[in-house]
Amino acid sequence: MTVKRDAAATGSKRRRSHRSADSRTPWPLAVLAAVASTIFVVPLIGLIGSAPWRDLPNLIADEIVVDAIGLSLVSSLVAAMLSVILGVPLAWVLSRSRFPGQRLLRAVVTLPMVLPPVVGGAALLFALGRRGIIGEPLAEATGFVLPFSLWGVIVANTFVAMPFLVVTVEGAFDSVDRRYEAAAATLGANRFTVFRRISLPMIAPSLRAGLVLAWARALGEFGATITFAGNLSGRTQTLPLAVFVALEADRPRALAISLLLVVVSIVVLVTLRDQWWRR
């Protein structure tokens, strides 16, 4: 520990002593960078500055908000778990198997990362909605209807969040030193044992990062959710949806929920710092 801290200290000292030589910023870059920073700092100031600090506990304890918190937690956590259970095998297949259409599959899997979430929600509706190509036979056979239910929220969240996990974990599987897997195989481990006892533990840091990213994405999900699952208070209204509604009717409540989400996001960033942003 001490050794590490010492190394860090000398490192920073060295950096400081070189400051005059290499950290002068050309003015055009400085101006543009300042503008860029403003874009991120000002909204935060706006939020914090107009927050109804005194009423905050009451606003958050409101039944609608508490319902939304509960829904958001359940749906985002279940979506994150589904992303891991289904996404890790998908990432492995994309990284290790070779089959026709693999590139196409990879493109389709990453599509929700760039697709407008509303379009994603619409696509889900056309496929799994009451009149959808899968939804209709499903409803007729079992009476189970996905949209406008908690399961609808979870499906929408998973659809949007899982690609983040798949991309992160696939990259990790790509960069695993395959010789360790070969060594495990010579020791008698079959392919699944190698996956379970060698590959998976080796990518654990990336899996954690992917999990947190996917969960954060699910927590903030708005477009796909509102399109596919609707905006029913107490049933499908998650925190971002509650913010949207409150902006029209009850601005202090919108501010309170927004602050809550900012705090959660900062916690996520800090959690991830060591695994994701470390440079």
Partner 1 sequence: MIEDHGGLMAKIAIDRPAQPHQDIGFHLDLAFSIDPGETVALLGPNGAGKSTTVQLLAGLLSLDRGQISLGGRVLDRAGNGADQLFVPPENRHIGVVFQDYLLFDHLSVLDNVAFGPVSRGTSRREAKVSAAKLLELVGLSALAGSRPTALSGGQAQRVALARALATEPDLLLLDEPLSALDVTTRVELRAMLTAHLALFEGPILLISHDPAEAFGLADRILVLEDGRLTQAGTVDEIRRRPASRYAAALTGVNTLTGVSDRGAITLDDSRQHLQTFDRTSGSVQVTIDPRAVAVYRRAPEGSPRNSWSTTIEAIEPLGDIMRLQLGAPLPLLADITPGAVSDLSLKPGQTVWVSIKATEVLATKTGDDPEKNLDD
Binding-site ranges for partner 1 (CB under 8 A): 179-180, 182-190, 193, 197-198, 201-202, 204
Q: Closest approach of Cβ 107 to partner 1, in Å? A: 27
Q: Of all helices (H) and strands (E), which one includes residue 31? A: helix 27-49
Q: Closest approach of Cβ 132 to partner 1, in Å? A: 44
Q: Closest approach of Cβ 85 to partner 1, in Å? A: 21
Q: Closest approach of Cβ 102 to partner 1, in Å? A: 23
Distance separating alpha carbons of residues 161 and 164, to the nearest angstrom: 6
Closest to partner 1 by CB, 48 or 182:
182
Closest to partner 1 by CB, 73 or 183:
183
Is the dihedral angle over the CA atoms 268, 274, 276, 278 positive or is it negative? positive
Cα angle: 70, vertex 71, 75; to 5 degrees: 120
Closest to partner 1 by CB, 34 or 204:
204
Closest to partner 1 by CB, 16 or 196:
196
Q: Closest approach of Cβ 205 to partner 1, in Å? A: 11
Q: Closest approach of Cβ 177 to partner 1, in Å? A: 8
Question: Residue 40 in 3-state DSSP?
Answer: helix
Site of tokens 């606003």? 59
Distance separating alpha carbons of residues 157 and 238, to the nearest angstrom: 11
Asked if 52 and 255 touch (Cβ cutoff 8 Å), the reply is yes
Q: Closest approach of Cβ 178 to partner 1, in Å? A: 9
Closest to partner 1 by CB, 105 or 185:
185
Name which of 136, 138, 129, 119 is nearest 224 in CA terms: 119
Give one DSSP letter per residue of 106-137, joined into a string. Answer: HHHHHHHHHS-HHHHHHHHHHHHSTTSTTHHH
Asked if 272 and 208 touch (Cβ cutoff 8 Å), the reply is no
Name which of 140, 121, 119 is nearest 131 in CA terms: 140
Distance separating alpha carbons of residues 99 and 82, to the nearest angstrom: 24
Closest to partner 1 by CB, 58 or 193:
193
Closest to partner 1 by CB, 30 or 204:
204
DSSP code of residue 62 = S
Closest to partner 1 by CB, 53 or 180:
180
Q: Closest approach of Cβ 206 to partner 1, in Å? A: 13
